[in-house]
Amino acid sequence: MKPSVNGLSLTASGDVLFRCPFDPVTVAQLRRIRPRGCWQARLQGWMFPFEALLRLVDCFGERFPIDPSLREWWQAIDKPLPPLPPHRQLVSAADLQAPLADGRQLLAHQRAGVRWLLARRGALLADEMGLGKTLTALAAARALLRLTDCRLLVVAPVGLHDHWRREALALELAPQLFSWARLPAEPPPGGLVLVVDEAHFAQNLQAQRTAALLRLARHPRVRAVWLLTGTPSKNGRPIQLLPLLMAIGHPLARDRRAYEELFCNGHWRQVGKRQITDC
């Protein structure tokens, strides 16, 4: 979607787009913003990661309008949800030694996985296929739901929804299930725990489903984002990891250009009026 007015707006992937008439002083200010943004000729504006929002508002919020959807996110940052309980309380609430409703018990590696997830608000669990990533993520989510006012939202291929329902039933959970083709534009009210199965489906930054996932994962009301995949990089290209790192808020992904230059041998070049990257 191409904005028709100047100012700050929210993109389909949860980035911040800033459009304004050309002014060398403003451009110099934009170049000093961190995390860095870059000029997007197609959108006729500067694209910044969402983490730069507060700095952008401080610099330009009084001079340029702020799109209503972006203002809603900004207000959510200004009035954050209560802090999460300490890790020790979360692990205790997970009740890792207790049998499940169907009589099963978590295996040792699953218990370790639950503790690891509960220590992180953003995580990529890349256990191999068949090791029970679904149950691990649900057990960790249950601990968060027990101690906080959160809902559980699971993104998974339609063919795996029945499997997720069965595993959730064993933990007495009722998650909201969404397919990759129908991701919600906005999270439900209140806090949200987001679990994403087959996360390697979001390895292309140009794909609409990747943009939709990033917008959902970056919302200020999301308390935790846990990605599950046995193939985090299908052919070993570091650029495929970038969208996943962006979704979990990893520090390496805050500056896309720096990531591409450092890990992908990326370089920028001018093609007509466009600035493109090869990586």
CB within 8 A of 265, min separation 6: which ones?
279
How many angstroms separate the CA atoms of 221 and 76, rounded? 7
How many angstroms separate the CA atoms of 253 and 251, rounded? 5
Domains in the chain: boundaries? 7-79, 87-248
Helix residue spans in 208-276 (DSSP H): 208-217, 242-247, 256-263
| pLDDT at residue 175 in the model | 97
The mean pLDDT of 10-37, rounded to a whole number, is 93
Give pLDDT tens digits for 80-121: 889 999 999 999 999 999 999 999 999 999 999 999 999 999
Classify residue 155 as exposed, middle or buried by CB count within 10 Å of its CB (0-12, 13-18, 19+): buried
Give pLDDT tens digits for 175-232: 999 999 999 888 878 899 999 999 999 999 999 999 999 999 999 999 999 999 999 8
Express as a percent the part of the chain with pLDDT over 90.
72
* Share of the chain residues as helix, strand and coil, in percent rounded to the nearest 5: 40, 20, 40
Query: How crowded is residue 200: how many other Cβ atoms within 10 Å of its Cβ?
Result: 19
* Average pLDDT of the residues of the chain: 91
Please determine, for residue 252, whether its predicted confidence score (pLDDT) is greater than 50. yes
pTM of the model: 0.88
| pLDDT at residue 2 in the model | 47
Rg of the chain over Cα atoms, rounded to whole angstroms, equals 20
The mean pLDDT of 32-47, rounded to a whole number, is 90
Residue 251, SS3 per DSSP: helix
Say what angle helices 53-60 and 68-78 make with each other, to 10 degrees.
110
The mean pLDDT of 158-185, rounded to a whole number, is 96
Say what angle helices 161-170 and 133-147 make with each other, to 10 degrees.
50
How many angstroms separate the CA atoms of 105 and 112, rounded? 13
Question: Which pair of structure tokens corresponds to residue 51?
Answer: 């983490």
Helix (H) or strand (E) holding 122: strand 122-125
The CATH code of the domain at 87-248 is 3.40.50.10810
Give pLDDT tens digits for 49-92: 988 999 999 999 999 999 999 999 988 888 888 999 999 999 99
The mean pLDDT of 128-145, rounded to a whole number, is 96
